[in-house]
């Protein structure tokens, strides 16, 4: 599984957001960009952080191409 450690870390940070009342339910997205490999790991759309598993995190390129994952990625801000 690509970026397995990062996927797990994203889930843990998501749970912290819920636990500290910074978000609730399916609100908010988290992502991580690996500049070396040019892959982004992003939380899926519409899935509670406490129900998210590592395989639910979507790995994609910045152009929107999904590299690994079956879920719809959360919204990504474009700069």
pTM attached to this predicted model: 0.89
Residue 79 has pLDDT above 70, yes or no: no
Ramachandran region, residue 25 (left: φ > 0; alpha: ψ -120 to 50; beta: rest):
left
Tens of pLDDT, residues 3-27: 999 999 999 999 999 999 999 878 8
Question: Encoding tokens for residue 76?
Answer: 């990504």
User: pLDDT-based confidence at 58, cuts 50/70/90?
Assistant: very high
**Among candidates 45, 51, 50, which has minimal Cα distance to 31?**
45
> Which pLDDT does position 28 carry in this prediction?
86
* Predicted local confidence at residue 27, as pLDDT: 84
C-alpha distances out from residue 1 to 33, 45, 58, 67, Å = 16, 20, 11, 11
Alpha-carbon distance 65 to 5, whole Å?
Answer: 21
Predicted confidence (pLDDT) per residue in 27-54, tens digit: 889 999 999 999 999 999 999 999 999 9
């Amino acid at each position: 599984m690509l970026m397995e450690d990062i996927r797990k870390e994203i889930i843990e940070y998501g749970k912290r957001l819920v636990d500290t009342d910074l978000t609730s339910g399916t609100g908010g997205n988290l992502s991580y960009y690996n500049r070396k490999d040019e892959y982004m790991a992003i939380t899926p759309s519409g899935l509670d952080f406490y129900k998210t598993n590592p395989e639910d995190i979507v790995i994609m390129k910045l152009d929107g191409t999904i590299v690994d994952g079956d879920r719809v990625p959360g919204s990504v801000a474009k700069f």
